[in-house]
């Protein structure tokens, strides 16, 4: 009896230590890493975290992939801010932003993005840059607020035909992703996620490798993917990535985005084309190019460029291609603005 009581006490003490470790770590992370940006209130108790750099115009706005944050654009934003004003942000439920209170569809997110820009006093015109799911957000923004948009760059945008309900076979993948995100929430609250990701991104990686190995082949596969993609980002942001992945709210936000994919597809599959706005679409060499018919469904002034050395994360695989594409779009739209004024 005494043994079991002692065991329960030890377990309770370890659990309490884990929760305290997570609580103090979260406060430390926010103090150390969030100071470069600012929080913009968009109403209903929601605040979005935004990071601005550079000066001049037009403003280049960055929208990340489905579970990514402003960190995904760190290097690109630094380079682009050398020749124009830039803004990146974390969508509701991700990064340093507050939890979302709407379904994570492109239409809802575009409305929140516009509210953030208005509240922050960032005036149009904008050049929109969106990766993957973020490409759909930028398309929807341009359809809702065409008068604000000078140009669009879509970096391997999400293809609706690849996801449910158009492709029901992928529903199991979404269900699994949402379930794993749900499992991760209590793990993060206990401090174990912080131990694992800190080991992976900030220390030797031995603990994260051990935990991934204990999870079997699936765990090692996920670990390999994380190392590969995060390894392409500047090393200075790795501790901030670890801070985000240590938060329970990150996994709630990830799940919200994953669960909303079918609603996203329903919203965007028959979206009208964007008229009169120049669009550049970057497609990786590992994917089939979009047909002329598919391109016409996106917009009437669209050009597709193949990224010859990239997989899905073109802005990480070939950052210079993305930077040069943005520079050309900024110069072209700036020239058009000057001509209109003249």
Mean pLDDT value across residues 52-71? 97
- Which one, of 135, 151, 131, lies nearest residue 60 by Cα? 151
DSSP-assigned states of every residue in 151-208: EEEEES---GGGSTTTSGGGHHHHHHHHHHHHHHHHHHHTTHHHHHHHHHHHS-SHHH
Tell me the pLDDT band of 42, cut-offs 50, 70 and 90: very high
What pLDDT, in 10s, does the model give residues 64-84?
999 999 999 999 999 999 999
Tell me the pLDDT band of 40, cut-offs 50, 70 and 90: very high
Domain limits for position 108: 37-169+271-341
Report yes or no on 121 lying in a domain.
yes
pLDDT for 342 beyond 80: no
C-alpha–C-alpha distance, residues 91 and 264, integer Å: 15
Report yes or no on 155 lying in a domain.
yes
What pLDDT, in 10s, does the model give residues 313-341?
999 999 999 999 999 999 998 766 544 44
Which CATH number is 47's domain given?
3.40.50.1820
Report yes or no on 21 lying in a domain.
no
What pLDDT, in 10s, does the model give residues 187-227?
999 999 999 888 888 877 665 565 555 555 555 555 566 67
Q: Would you state the structure tokens that stand for residue 42, as one six-digit string?
A: 């968009």
Tell me the pLDDT band of 229, cut-offs 50, 70 and 90: confident
Report yes or no on 194 lying in a domain.
no
Report yes or no on 148 lying in a domain.
yes
Report yes or no on 177 lying in a domain.
no
Averaged pLDDT score across all residues of the chain? 90
Report yes or no on 86 lying in a domain.
yes
Provide the number of structural domains found in the chain. Answer: 1
C-alpha–C-alpha distance, residues 48 and 175, integer Å: 27
Burial label for 115, CB within 10 Å (0-12, 13-18, 19+), is middle
Q: What is the CA radius of gyration of the chain?
A: 21
* Cβ atoms within 10 Å, residue 146: 12
| The pLDDT of residue 49 | 98
C-alpha–C-alpha distance, residues 293 and 95, integer Å: 36
| The pLDDT of residue 200 | 84
pTM recorded for the entire structure: 0.92
DSSP-assigned states of every residue in 215-277: T-HHHHHHHHHHHHHHTTS-GGGHHHHHHHHT-HHHHHHHHHHHHTHHHHHHHHTTPPPBPSS
pLDDT for 168 beyond 60: yes
Mean pLDDT value across residues 95-110? 97
60 compared with 231, residue with greater pLDDT: 60
| The pLDDT of residue 7 | 57
| Number of DSSP helices (H) and strands (E) in the chain, helices first | 14, 8
pLDDT for 122 beyond 50: yes
Report yes or no on 260 lying in a domain.
no
């Amino acid at each position: 009896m005494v043994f079991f009581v002692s065991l329960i006490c030890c377990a309770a003490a370890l659990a309490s230590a884990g929760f305290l470790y997570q609580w103090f770590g979260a406060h430390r992370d926010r103090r150390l890493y969030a100071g470069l940006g600012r929080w913009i209130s968009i109403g209903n108790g929601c605040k979005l975290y935004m990071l601005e750099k550079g000066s001049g115009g037009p403003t280049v706005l960055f929208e990340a992939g489905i579970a990514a944050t402003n960190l995904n654009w760190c290097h690109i934003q630094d380079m682009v801010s050398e020749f124009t004003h830039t803004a990146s942000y974390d969508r509701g439920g991700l990064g340093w932003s507050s939890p979302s209170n709407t379904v994570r569809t492109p239409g809802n997110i575009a409305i929140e993005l516009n509210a953030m820009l208005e509240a922050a006093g960032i005036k149009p015109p904008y050049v929109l840059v969106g990766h993957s799911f973020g490409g759909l957000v930028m398309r929807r923004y341009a359809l809702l607020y065409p008068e604000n948009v000078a140009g669009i760059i879509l970096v391997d945008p999400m293809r609706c035909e690849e996801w449910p309900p158009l492709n029901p076979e992928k529903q199991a993948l979404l269900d699994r992703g949402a379930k794993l995100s749900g499992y991760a929430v209590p793990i993060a609250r206990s401090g174990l996620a912080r131990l694992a990701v800190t080991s992976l991104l900030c220390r030797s990686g031995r603990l994260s490798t051990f935990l991934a190995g204990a999870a079997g082949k699936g765990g090692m596969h996920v670990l390999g993917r994380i190392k590969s993609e995060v390894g392409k980002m500047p090393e200075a942001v790795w501790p901030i990535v670890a801070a985000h992945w240590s938060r329970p709210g990150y996994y709630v936000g990830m799940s919200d985005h994953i669960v909303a994919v079918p609603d996203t597809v329903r919203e965007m599959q028959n979206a009208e084309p964007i008229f009169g706005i120049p669009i550049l679409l970057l497609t990786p060499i590992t994917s089939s190019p979009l047909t002329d018919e598919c391109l016409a469904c996106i917009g009437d002034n669209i050009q597709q460029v193949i990224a010859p050395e990239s997989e899905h994360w073109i802005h990480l695989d070939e950052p210079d291609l993305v930077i040069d594409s943005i520079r050309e779009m900024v110069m072209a739209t700036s020239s058009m603005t000057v001509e209109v004024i003249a």
